[in-house]
Structure 1
Amino acid sequence: MSFQFTQAQVDIFNREGCLLIPDYLSPNEVKEILDHTNRLIDEFDITTHPLTKFTTENDGDHIGDEYFLKSSENISFFLEPAAFDKDNNLIKSKDKSINKIGHNLLIDEVYRKHTINYKSKKIISRLNYRDPRVLQSMIICKQPQIGGEVPSHQDGVFLYTEPQSAIGFWIALEDCDETNGCLSYLPGSHLNSPIGKRFVKAETGGTKFIYLNEDTEDSYKNSSENYKLLKCKKGSLILINHSVIHRSNLNFSENSRFAYAFHVIEGDAIYDEKNWLQIPYTGGTKFTKLYDV
């Protein structure tokens, strides 16, 4: 059966800010991505790694790390903070210590073919993108028992364009529910929550957050009962608007929650040179053109 992206789905996405599309990938496609990811993890030599941890906190250690900045153009591994003890010794096995693999998986043919294809092109075309570019592709692991919380945020903070244009493609590689940290979001928050801070390269090296609006953090403070859970089966796609407020909780379960995500921006929007993600990492916007491939 050919993939369909209907006007009704477009309307829901525009109204809600998120859209769940079941069965975006077939079971065989999911297996191919997971098997390939596990091969990369097996081949990953942790003894030569700088032990760069990934955290989404504003003062996280990773944000000043050159390894993190260089990851914009290659395949890099980031570790889960909870995989270390208080003396910074790794206490989990290698395969259970990885938080994320990113941020340019398009250089790998397996990830590339599941990113740039007729389905993603159809979605982006129906959303009226003229010259879409693909960037920030990654595997998110959400490990059993230690998979960290991702607090409320907006993707436009990290991929800032004028006008705002980033769309997240978040694909579940395993079943997701409230026990293993499924996504949740504030429906319609993209309509009244303009991007009020940015994650940028710092003048002295590394990265930092800068605030455009002092009340930005207040917009993220909302009762949990207002968040809508996005429980889904493996193979599902969740589309995420640049300004919708979303999050995921800790994974306290015995099950991992692997996902593959990538982002698309409008090519004729202004992609700010201060943005943390540049290709090449020293400065530039050599992002893959979705329609030209």
Structure 2
Amino acid sequence: MPEYLTETQIAKFYKDGYLVIPQFLLPEETQSLLNRSKQLLDEFDIDQHPRTKFTTGDDNHVGDDYFLTSGDKIRYFLEEDAVDTEGKLLREKQKSVNKIGHALHELDPAFRKVTLENERLRAVVRDLEFHRDPVALQSMVITKQTHIGGEVPEHNDSTFLYTYPPSALGFWIALEKCTATNGALSFLPGSHVITPITKRFVRLGDNKGTGFEDLVPPSVQREVSEASKGNYVLETCNPGDLVLIHGSVLHKSERNTSPHTRFAYTFHMIESPPYAKYDEKNWLQPTKEMPFSKILPPREISETRQPVLTSA
């Protein structure tokens, strides 16, 4: 029997490709993460920052050294509309940051506590049986700043954290109320079943930054794009709610047009070898000093289920 999730919740996740779990974090846990996020923004040294902005367009994605070496650090990425052409901030630094990442779960005690030292989280992992031996990576606070918090177009997470076979699973925790006007997530239910991973986000090498590598011909990509059109479902959330996101499900968020921020803490899990391959092409790489973080103790590694995946 499941420890934390109900059988109905598990079935809904595999049917829709995502699941909202209300009040996953206690109010005091949520407030602790929100307070710590704001403290990090206060402590952020803008004078030492290279003005790296976070962008999501296919032709203009972030890919400088500051980004590519952030997997074992806590770094700050600015909103596109927060910096002018000369690199000067157009608003105070606390309201200019798009996200903080990507090793909060390892390096910051508050975030480590809810990610790697959280028995409720391990219970969800065991109940879902999505992975055999999951590891955590790419933790972020996404701030969705007032009036300029950028749109994130439709995508699936396995494109950006590619394994063979695909195995990404997102954990997205609302730290503030998420509404239709401040950038709540929207999902295309069931798209994880009909949407194969058609491309992957990779390092281009030789100081060329990042880009996309096709996994199928462009004609197939167009067919998939047409087949995946449908009605997105907006999922508003309250502080402390957790959203589980299948690596193949299409989701997006709109620009924040409101006077309210939309802070959220998110991280991902992937399958570890030998059950899946994560190679050197991926933008985020583990280091000798900080390998990807194991979630379950060795005695709990599951041999009972292969991840429920789509083709690559």
Query: Which interval holds the TM-score relative to the shorter structure?
Result: over 0.9
What is the DSSP-based 3-state SS (H/G/I as helix, E as strand, rest coil) of the residue aligned with 1:71?
coil
Structure 1 residue 127: deviation in Å?
2.1
TM-score (norm. length: structure 1):
0.93
Displacement after TM superposition at 1:272 (Å): 2.1
SS of residue paired to 2:140: strand
The normalised TM-score by structure 2 is: 0.87
Which residues in structure 2 correspond to 1:15-54 (within 5 Å)?
A: 15-54=15-54
- Pairwise CA distance, 1:164: 1.2
Number of equivalences: 288
| Pairs within 5 Å for 1:210-289 | 210-213=213-216, 214=218, 215-216=220-221, 219-220=224-225, 226-267=231-272, 268-280=275-287, 286-289=291-294
User: Is the CA contact (8 Å cut-off) linking 2:77 and 2:99 kept in structure 1?
Assistant: yes
Q: Is the 8 A contact 2:142 2:265 kept in 1?
A: yes
Structure 2 distance, partners of 1:284, 1:43, is 25
Q: Quick check: 1:142–1:251 contact (8 Å CA) kept in 2?
A: yes
Give distance in 2, aligned partners of 1:197 and 1:30.
35
CA distance in 1, matches of 2:166, 2:19: 18
Check 1:47–1:102 CA distance in 2 against 1; reply closer, same or farther (3 A cut).
same
Q: 1:123 to 1:18 in 2, by over 3 A?
A: same
Partner of 1:291: 296
CA distance in 2, matches of 1:21, 1:88: 40
Q: 2:301: which partner in 1?
A: none
Supply the AA of the counterpart residue of 2:147. Q
Give the distance between the partners of 1:61 and 1:240, measured in 2 at CA.
Answer: 22
2:72–2:290 Cα contact (<8 Å) kept: no
Unpaired segments ≥5 residues, structure 1? none
- Give distance in 2, aligned partners of 1:145 and 1:258: 14
What secondary structure is seen at the aligned counterpart in 1 of 2:258?
Answer: coil
Residues 133 and 289, structure 1, Cα contact 8 Å, conserved in 2: yes
Q: Indicate the residue corresponding to 1:194 in structure 2.
A: 196
Q: Deviations over 1:134-188 (max 9, x none)?
A: 0010000000000000000010001111111110000000011111010001000
Bigger drift between 246-255 and 223-232 goes to: 223-232
1:207 aligns with 2:210: yes
Deviation at 1:21, TM superposition (A): 0.6
CA distance in 1, matches of 2:227, 2:196: 16
Other structure's SS at 2:42 match: helix
Q: 1:288 to 1:36 in 2, by over 3 A?
A: same
Whole-angstrom CA distance in 1 between matches of 2:138 and 2:249 = 18
Q: Per-residue displacement from partner, 1:168-209 (whole Å, max 9, x unpaired)?
A: 000000011111010001000000100001001113232111
Is residue 2:102 matched to residue 1:103? yes
Amino acid corresponding to residue 156 of structure 2 in structure 1: Q
Change beyond 3 A, Cα 1:203–1:226:
same
Note if contact 1:169-1:238 (Cα within 8 Å) is conserved in structure 2.
yes
| Shift in alpha-carbon separation, 1:225–1:200, aligned structure 2, 3 A | closer
Determine whether 1:144 maps to 2:143.
no
Question: What is the CA distance between 1:59 and its match in structure 2?
Answer: 2.3
Identity %: 48
Q: Distance in 2 between matches of 1:269 and 1:22?
A: 31
The match for 1:118 is 119
